[in-house]
Amino acid sequence: MQLQVIRQDKSKHPFMRGMLAHKLMQRGLSFDQAYQISKDAKSYFQEKTEVTSDSLMQSVDELIVARYGKELLRTLISELFPSGKQICVFRRNATSPFSKGLLTQSITAAGIKPEEAYKIAFDLEADLIKKDILRISKKKLFEEVFSTIKKKYSPHLAGLYKLASRIDELDRPVIIYLAGASGTGKSVMSTFLAGRLGINKITGTDTIREIMRLVFKRDLLPSLHNSSSQAGAGMPKTLDKNARLISGFCLQSQQVSVGVKAVVDRAIKERTSMIVEGIHLLPIMEHAIKEGTKRAYHIPITLSLMNEKHHKDRFFERGKGNELRKKEPYLRSFENIRTIHKFFNLESEKDEIEVVDNEDFDETTNTLIQLIINTLQVQVNSTLPSKS
């Protein structure tokens, strides 16, 4: 019979090694240490059918000491099981449960590592429950986190958290443009950034191009119906191969930018922040730079993959388990993709658009988050009235 854990409220729950390991990681153990202790605990209680949460916690502490020593135990958070109490966060007439996940997400947007952000959220929840504070305003919760980051890290990071956690309260929407050649990781990174920044709207230029293809048939705009890596087809034969490709790509990008501009204008009109990702963004990014912060905070970024071999490997990975995105067309056109990649980087450099090498996902994510929030802070400050 499976071991049952009896909690303080008398409810019974089956002992699960994975759940115990997760709780131990919350206390501060590493992944390997947590799973080793949860394995030890399962063996320790294998002859029993029931155990109280207090007994389990005491035994787990003894197992940690036996395997890793007293010093490690002293560094860990003492709470193992939740008390059953639920903290509510209210703002005006709306109330929602306290969420460590959502709070962690807003803290990481300031450039703080996820594991450190989670510990801040975990400690704050434990402190509120300890003080029997089960109802807190969103403003007060923000002030608590702001104060913690300021003390633990720096006023600068606290200021970034303040900005990142209030993107939806800014005086104008935030439009992030994530551009780059095929295979540089724009789609995946956009989804991840949206989650970290609390932005709910993502639009891809490929989607916009597909819609435009339904409106403008091939005989009217033939260049719109070619893939970006075959955009040179139909360009003057007097040009060399690379010049034809880049000319066709620029023409296609200009055509797609009409649709992108319409989507961005609609988002600005509705005061909705969004991320636009895709290969056709150079013209609209240039336009956004010229427009400045009149109607929105525009943040253009180009993703790159400087290592050619790693770039090609991405297409092999993309093809695994995804029949809709077969690798062969990309691999056949890889030379053209790299030509567009080089052109993208040079044009971005010329227009002073930040180019980020997406070699390592975690490193790139942290770089992009810090770049976005720092850039946003500069733009917000530039719109504030002068104190003089």
Tokens of 236: 């003057």
In a domain, 116, yes or no: yes
Per the model's pLDDT, the better-predicted residue between 31 and 216 turns out to be: 216
Instruction: Check whether 324 has a pLDDT greater than 70.
Output: no
Q: Considering 131, 165, 199, which residue would you say is the last residue of a domain?
A: 165
Q: Which of 384, 386, 387 is nearest to 172 (CA)?
A: 384
- Band (pLDDT 50/70/90 cuts) for residue 206 is very high
Same domain, 232 and 115: no
The more confident residue out of 285 and 78 is 285
Please indicate, yes or no, whether residues 229 and 127 belong to a single structural domain of this protein.
Answer: no
Is the same domain home to 239 and 366? Answer: yes
Lowest mean pLDDT among 35-44, 228-237, 270-279: 228-237
388, part of any domain: no
Any domain includes 81: no
pLDDT of residue 299: 96
250: enclosing H helix or E strand? helix 241-269
Q: Is 24 part of any domain? A: yes
229 and 335, same domain (yes or no): yes
Same domain? For 230 and 365 the reply is: yes
Mean pLDDT of 5-28: 80
Whether residues 103 and 148 fall in one domain: yes
Could you tell me if residue 209 is inside a domain?
A: yes
Q: How far apart (Å, rounded) are the C-alpha atoms in residues 53 and 4?
A: 10
Domain boundary residue, one of 114, 146, 165: 165
pTM assigned to the model: 0.72
Same domain, yes or no, for 320 and 176?
A: yes
Q: What percent of the chain has pLDDT over 90?
A: 44
Q: What is the mean pLDDT of the chain?
A: 87
Query: Do 157 and 189 have their domain in common?
Result: no
**83 lies in some domain:** no
Q: Are residues 21 and 160 in the same domain?
A: no
Give dist(CA 149, CA 286) in Å, integer: 36
Range of the domain at 134: 88-165
Q: What residues does 177 pair with on adjacent strands?
A: 276, 300
For residues 309 and 216, membership in a common domain is answered with yes
Q: Is the pLDDT of residue 323 over 60?
A: no
Q: Which residues pair with 276 in a beta bridge?
A: 177, 203
pLDDT at 224: 85
Q: How confident is the model at residue 96 (pLDDT cuts 50, 70, 90)?
A: confident
Task: Say which CATH number the domain at 322 has.
Answer: 3.40.50.300
Question: 200 and 140: one domain?
Answer: no
Whether residues 141 and 178 fall in one domain: no
pLDDT in tens, 267-309: 999 999 999 999 999 999 988 888 888 999 999 999 999 999 9
The last residue of a domain, from among 137, 165, 193: 165
| pLDDT-based confidence at residue 379 (cuts at 50, 70, 90) | very high
**Residue 387, domain member (yes or no):** no
For the segment 79-99, the average pLDDT, to the nearest whole number, is: 75
> Is residue 291 a contact partner of residue 167, using CB atoms and an 8 Å limit?
no
Cβ proximity of 51 and 45 under 8 Å = yes
pLDDT at 79 over 90: no
Q: What domain count does the chain have?
A: 3
pLDDT at 362: 82
Rounded mean pLDDT, 360-365: 87
Determine, yes or no, domain membership for 226: yes
